[in-house]
Structure 1
Amino acid sequence: MPEDTAALTACFARGYAQYADLPDLPPVTRGIGDDIANHYVWLAESGAGILGGAVLVIGPGRARLSNIAVDPDAAGRGIGRALLALVEEEASAWGAQTITLTTHAAMEGTHRFYDRLGWRETGRSGNRVFLEKPLPQ
């Protein structure tokens, strides 16, 4: 919902704050309102507000996880894993055979997280790392 733009932007800012000094990190909080208006967005919420969010871009025969973050105060609760499960389920329902994402080379903990969930590296360009996961049909 458009009224969630500010809260989701703030959540993404908190989620990526530890990586703010990485070279070549894209502007992860830019365009959240457009994402909400034009793509699939899931929020993890509690009475305290938005704890995490994910943005899925679906095109003809393809799916891309555009952005995902969890507020550091909510880390370790399985929110990221739950958001990824929802994203993967939706992408599969739309007929995507794989889902892709791009992350930063220096975000090693993130790489391990995705690796544990079945994502595989498909390439690199500068600090960008490309990952892909096959989806059940």
Structure 2
Amino acid sequence: MSTRGINFFDKWMAEHLPDATTDDPAAINDLTDQAMEAAEREGIEVREIYEEVGSVFESIAEAMRHRDGSLPEADLVAVDLLAGRLADEATISREQARDLIGRFGTDWEKLLNEAHFLKELEGRRGQE
């Protein structure tokens, strides 16, 4: 596994993907080639990226399909399930759970810590 590889790839996509959405395979293939060439120039072996994302082409295609900030349908379902679990376990609302996921990602321990902190903060406000 290569944290260096995925960090490079995430940063590269944020800096180099066009703002427009596209599903043109030729354009996505060109972007894939550009990303791999940039990785090599940075001394990052292509395999370090492939170990993390599987298909670079598919990762770029998925990012391009969701340039507007939307999540793929499968991701929306996963976030909803995670929000429900977090809301139940930490006894917070689903809306609060979704907000925490949006702010802190999907790391379960981090989410639980933040949810418990939120609940404690609300308890303190209620005592005032």
TM-score by shorter chain over 0.5: no
Scaled by the length of structure 1, the TM-score of the pair is: 0.28
Normalising to structure 2: TM-score of the pair? Answer: 0.29
Q: Which of the pair has more CA radius of gyration?
A: 2
Structure that is richer in helix per residue: 2
